[in-house]
Amino acid sequence: MSWLLALPFLIPILTALATFPARGRKLLCGFISVAGCALLLAATIAILVLVETGGTRAAQMGDWAAPFGITLVADRLSAIMLLISGIVGFCVSLFSLSDIRKYRVKLGFHSFFQLLLAGVCGSFITGDLFNLYVWFEVMLIASFALLVIGGDRIQLDGGIKYVALNLVSTLLMLTSIGMTYGLTGTLNMAQLHISLAAVDNPSAVSALAVLFICAFGIKAAIFPLFFWLPASYHAPPVTVTAVFAGLLTKVGVYALIRTFTLIFPSELQFPHSILLGTALLTMLTGVLGAAAHYEFRKILAFHIISQIGFLVLGLALNSPLALAGAVFYMIHNIVAKTNLFLISGTAKRLTGSFELSEIGGLYRASPLLSFFFFIAAFSLAGFPPLSGFWAKLLLVKASLDQAAYFVVAVALITGILTLFSMSKIWAEAFLKDHPKDYCQRLQDIPRYERYERLLPVAFLALITLVLGLIPGPLIDYSLAAARELLKPGEYIEAVLGLKIQYVGNR
C-alpha cells in the first residue's frame, strides 16, 4: 500500500509539472489544475477509508526499516487533514478559474498552487521531523511565489513582511530539529516518542520544547508571533488568501499537535501551560483586531488568528475531549474560513471594493450569496445548529471538565466579539445600500464565471450545514483521533513494529 500514501504529494507535484508548460493557455492550464485537484481529492478519500478500516498505516520509502529511512504515516488525524486539504484544493482551484487573471496564470500561478498543496499534504503525511522541515520549505517557497506573483505594490509590501518573518521561523525550526537530533540521535517521530522519554536532561528537553513552540508558533500565528499575517494576507488575489487562510496556518497547528502529543511526553506540564496562556491571548487579540478593522479581508484575517487560539486551546487542555474539540474545530474552521474568503472575492467582484465603507447592497443584489455568507459567518461565531457550535461546545465542555472557568469565559467573550464583527460585515456589506449605487447583480456576470464562483462556495456551505446538522460521525471520528494522539501505541506499532503498553487512566 506504500504507493497510496505517497500519492497526496506525488499528484500535486506531477500536476505542477504538467501545468507549467501549459501556462500560456489559461483555459487548458486551469483545466489541468482542477483535474489534478480532483485526483488528489480521490486519493485522500481512499486514504481516509484505508485508515478507517485498517487503522494507522505506515509506509517505508525504499524499504529502509523505520528509524533510518523516510517514513510516511497516516493515522486518523493525518487522514482527515489530508481529506480536508483535498476538498479545499479542489474548491479553490475551481474558484481560481475566474478569479486569477491571465497574466498571473502566465507567470505560473497554477504550478505554485499545486506545489503549495504538495507541501501541505507532505507535511500531514510524513513521519519524520526533517522531512517535515523539507515539506514546510516546499510550502513556504510556493506561498512566497503565490503572494508576490503579479507584483502589485501592495503585494510586494505585504510579501516582504511575510518573507522576513517566516524565514526566522524556518531558522528556529531547523535549529530545534538539529538539537533534537543531537539529544536523541533520531528524527523519526515514533522513535522520538521512545528516545526523548529516555533523555535524562530535563532542562535541555524544556529548551527544545520552547524552541518548537516558537518555530511552529510563527507558522501557526499564535499570540506574540502573528504580525506577519494581518500585514500580508489581504495583499494577493483572494484565491491565494483563501487557500492560505484555509491551510497554511493549520499546518503549523498540526505540527504543534504532533509535536506535543507524539514527540514530547504528554506528562510534560509546562509546554501545555505556555500554550494555554498564548491560546487565550491569541483568541482575544485576534478578535479585538477584527473588531477594529473596516476592510472585509482584514477582518477575516484577524479572525484566523483568533480561531488559531481555539485550536491551540484544545491542545493545551490536553484531555481526550479537548483534543477531539481541536480536531473538529480545525475541520469546521478550514471549511468556513476558506468559504468566507471566497465569498469576499465574489463580493469584491460585484461591488468593486473590499472597504466596508465603500460597498453595500449585496443582499438585494444576490440573496443567494448572502445566504452562503450567513451560513459561514454564523458558523464561525458558533451559532447552533451550525458546525462552529459543536466545535465550541466540545472545547467548552472540556474546559468545564477541568474546572477552567476562566478559559470558558474567554472563549464565550471571543464568540460574542466574533459575532459582533461578523454582523458588522453583514450590516455594512449586505444590508446597507451601496454608496455609489454601483452593485452588480449576480445574474449580470457571465454564466461560466458565475458557476466557477458559486459552485465552490455552495459546496463548502453545504459541508458546514451537514457538519452542523449531523455532527455525530465527525465527533466520533475526532474522539477516536484524540485517543490515538494521547496513546500513540498504534502509531508506533505501525511505524516501528513495537508494542507499547500505556498505563494510567487517560
Partner 1 sequence: MEGPLALVVGILIATGVYLMLARNLLHYLFGLILISNAANLAIFVAGRVTRAAPPLIPQGMEVAPGPIANPLPQALILTAIVIGFGLLAFALALIAQAYKVLGTLDVDTMRIAEPIPPKGEKSP
Q: Which stretch binds partner 1 (CB under 8 A): 99-107, 170-178, 315-323, 392-400?
A: 170-178
Q: Which stretch binds partner 1 (CB under 8 A): 54-62, 95-103, 144-152, 310-318?
A: 144-152
Alpha helices in 264-319 (DSSP H): 270-292, 296-317
Q: How far is the CB of 299 from partner 1 (least distance, A)?
A: 12
Q: How far is the CB of 391 from partner 1 (least distance, A)?
A: 30
Our finding on whether 288 is near partner 1 (CB under 8 A) is no
Element (H, E) at 59: strand 57-60
Our finding on whether 153 is near partner 1 (CB under 8 A) is yes
| Contact string 88-127 vs partner 1 (x = CB under 8 A) | ----------------------------------------
Segment 222 to 261, residues that bind partner 1, using CB under 8 A: 230-232, 234-235
Nearer to partner 1, 84 or 165 (CB): 165
If phi > 0 it is left, if psi is from -120 to 50 it is alpha, else beta; for residue 188 that is beta
First to last CA, the chain: 32
Binds partner 1 by CB under 8 A, chosen from 4, 38, 107, 134 = 134
Our finding on whether 284 is near partner 1 (CB under 8 A) is no
Element (H, E) at 71: strand 71-74
Instruction: Count CB neighbours of 265 within 10 A.
Output: 12
Q: How far is the CB of 328 from partner 1 (least distance, A)?
A: 33
Spatial CA neighbour of 259 closest among 314, 187, 334, 209: 209
Q: How far is the CB of 22 from partner 1 (least distance, A)?
A: 24
Our finding on whether 174 is near partner 1 (CB under 8 A) is yes
Nearer to partner 1, 93 or 169 (CB): 169
Element (H, E) at 86: helix 76-99
Our finding on whether 170 is near partner 1 (CB under 8 A) is yes
Our finding on whether 181 is near partner 1 (CB under 8 A) is yes
d(Cα 345, Cα 147) in Å, to the nearest integer?
A: 16
The CA–CA distances, whole Å, from 312 to 148, 166, 400, 438 equal 29, 19, 17, 42
Nearer to partner 1, 31 or 130 (CB): 130
Write the secondary structure of 400-438 as one string of H (helix), E (strand) and C (coil): HHCCCHHHHHHHHHHHHHHHHHHHHHHHHHHHCCCCCCC
User: Can you say how many angstroms the Cα of residue 286 is from the centroid of all Cα atoms in its chain?
Assistant: 16
Contacts with partner 1 by CB under 8 A lie at 130, 133-134, 137, 140-141, 144-145, 148, 151, 153-154, 156-161, 163-164, 167-168, 170-171, 174-175, 177-179, 181-183, 230-232, 234-235, 294, 356-357
